[in-house]
Structure 1
Amino acid sequence: MGIRVDIDVMLAKRKMGVGELSEKIGITPANLAVLKNGRAKAVRFSTLEALCRELDCQPGDLLIFEPDAG
């Protein structure tokens, strides 16, 4: 099981790029890419809050639960 952060859909809906979002929430584009590409092991609540604020969404719109395949 796992939880991943999915920001691609929200970025597309807002017509916003990774660089613009990273600037608005105060993290580096590289760190945002780690979240975006599913390589993050954790996400700070402050980062999640900032993502939701800038993308005008709820945490459940970004956090995707992936059950085990077997």
Structure 2
Amino acid sequence: MDVQVQKNYDYQEQMAYETLMMRAAYHAKKLKKEDLFKRPSDDKATEQTMEQAKKQMKRQQQWLAQFSFEKGGA
């Protein structure tokens, strides 16, 4: 049930995005495709992903450091 609710939210979000794009296209004088959407470059996306992965790894290591991993304990 929760999955279907999330799918509905995704659909509504997509429809809102399309509506905004149509409104921008309708009101623009000389509109180009790039004015509505510019695909991110691969290099920048990879760089952001690496930075995010490093930050996430650091947070995970800090979280794991709070636990004691001794044998025989449970």
Q: TM-score, normalised by structure 1?
A: 0.30
Higher relative helix content: 2
Higher relative strand content: 1
Q: Greater CA radius of gyration, 1 or 2?
A: 2
